[in-house]
Each structure stands twice: as C-alpha cells, then as structure tokens.
Amino acid sequence: MTFADPLWLLALVAVPALAWALWRPRREAPGVRYSMAGDAAALGATGWARLRKLPDALLLAALALGVLGLARPQVRDATVERSTEGIDIVLALDVSTSMTAEDFVPNRFEAAKAVAAEFVRGRESDRIGLVVFAAQAYTQAPLTLDYPFLLTMLQEVRMGLIEDGTAIGTALATATARLRDSQAASKVVILLTDGQNNRGQVDPQTAAEAAAALGVKVYAVGVGGDGPARRGPFGAFGPAPEVDEGALRQVAETTGGQYFRATDAQALRQIYDAISELERTEIEETVLLDVEERYPLFLWPALACLLAAVALSTTRLREVP
C-alpha cells in the first residue's frame, strides 16, 4: 500500500502531543467539593467513571484515522472481480460496394457504421464482436467488453479491402463461430446487408440452421431505402440495389430472431434499441485497475469514532465543570 499525499502523514506527529495534553496529571482544584472526603471515597468508582477518558481516546483515533485517509492510501495494479449482466452480440457488417448507395446520408456504409458506433457507446455490460464481409468474411474484433477498442476497430473498417460480392452465408457462419463457446443465455448476430447472397460456399439457410442449433438468434437488417443509388450534379440517377427480404426473413425466423427493413438511419437506431429488450445473463468480468483508492477504509471509521466521542461526552460521560 502506498500514499498519494504522504505530506499529510506529518500531521500524525500531533497525535502523541495531543494525547499527552489530554491525559497529563492535572493539579487544579476539583470542580466539586465534598464536606467529607471519606464518604465520597467509600463510594468507589463506577463502570462509567472508569471510561471517563474514552471520548478523548475516540477523538485521538478519529484524528489518526482521518490523517491516514487524507494521505490517500492506494493499492497499485489491483485486480477486481465483478459480476455484470449482458448478452453476447456479433455485428456482421456488409462492406460490399453496393453499400456506397446514397439513399442514406452520406451513404449506406457510413450510416451503418455511425449507428453501430452509437449502439456500442450505449452498452454497459454486453460483450460485442465485429465481423465484416463482402465476398469473404473476416473477424474485425472478437467478443469484448473493451468498447474503446471495439470503436477503434469499427472506425478502421474500409471498403475495397475485401474482394467484392455478398457472401451472407459465410458471414453468418463466421459470426456464429465467434459465439460457439459463449456461455451467455442470449447470443445474437445482427446481420446488416443490402444485397443478395451471390458469393461464398455456405448457403444462408444452412448457416441459419447451424446458428439455431447453437442457440444463436439472428436479427437480419435489410439496409436500403427507396431513393436512388447515386446523386450527381445533374440530379439523382441509378436504382438502388435490391434487398433479398424473403431470404433474410427466413434466416431470422429459422433462428428465432426477427427481420427488419432499415430505410434510414433512424430506423437503424430503433432496430438496435430492440436488442436491449433481450434476456440478460450474468458474466464474470475481471477489471484491471492501475490504482485502487483505499481512503474510505480510514475515513469512515474516523467519522464513526468522532460521532461516538461527541455522543458519549454529551451524555453518560459528560464532565462536570
């Protein structure tokens, strides 16, 4: 244990001096005189009389404990185990070129990233992972409670780094694999895509059946509005890619999840809000702290000693002037 403000410890020097001042022999005349001292001496000392110095001792203890608390005792490199409640979620984000359609502002891809980031910032105890996919699927971040790390990984997602295409089945299989060893009662994949399965060797329905067997629910989100795919200086042009709503709905229903159609960013936010209604489950979490403050262990007892001293000195142990 170390002290963050060790200069406060110098005040402990005053404790012995104060104790001497309180308990040194006093030679002043007594406050009450008896006409017959022999009769008074024969009465003997009661139990409370023997405790007449207890308020002074409590004040000294309060002073010493208070000084130690103000010096801020700390334990460094502490490990704290705590239990939280949450669900395990894997975000599967489509990064194919069709996600550049501008029926969202500024486009589908950027809007999906922004709303996903809002969702992560609103979590407290949910473990979240991130899978990105186009013609192939890759794990961008494993399940984690380290939300700053997850947000950094989400921010670094770029288009064009994966071969173009839409491998929905492969993405779902990859996301499910991240949840295979999860002990959470609620395991969820949020699948965001704007197209139809046209790549990969895993059929989306086969992947959905495998997810259902592992107790994973799929919330499929078809991303796409009614606007044009592009906007240029001479107006809008080009139709937006079509979402295979039938296939996505079947995937979701197979796993006990739901299908949503997101036509704008606000609809995406409402979909993420629905995830918060899922069943919660207890997760054991280990938190590593560089410094753990221990001053309450001294300040609370100091306050208790002070209150006890005041109470006793004004009631049963009150001294007659």
- Measured in residues, the chain has a length of 321
How many degrees, rounded to 5, is the angle at CA 140 between CA 134 and CA 145?
140
pLDDT confidence of residue 234 = 37
pLDDT tens digit at each of 321 positions of the chain:
777 777 667 777 676 767 766 666 554 555 555 555 555 555 555 666 666 777 878 888 888 888 888 887 877 665 656 566 678 999 999 999 989 888 888 889 999 999 999 999 988 888 999 999 999 999 999 999 999 999 999 999 998 889 999 999 999 999 999 999 998 888 999 999 988 899 999 999 999 999 999 999 999 999 886 655 554 443 444 455 678 899 999 999 999 999 999 888 888 888 888 777 766 655 565 655 567 787 788 888 888 888 888 887 777 766 655
DSSP single-letter state for residue 280 = P
Beta bridge partners of 79: 288
CA distance 275 to 122: 12
Tokens of 204: 């989306």
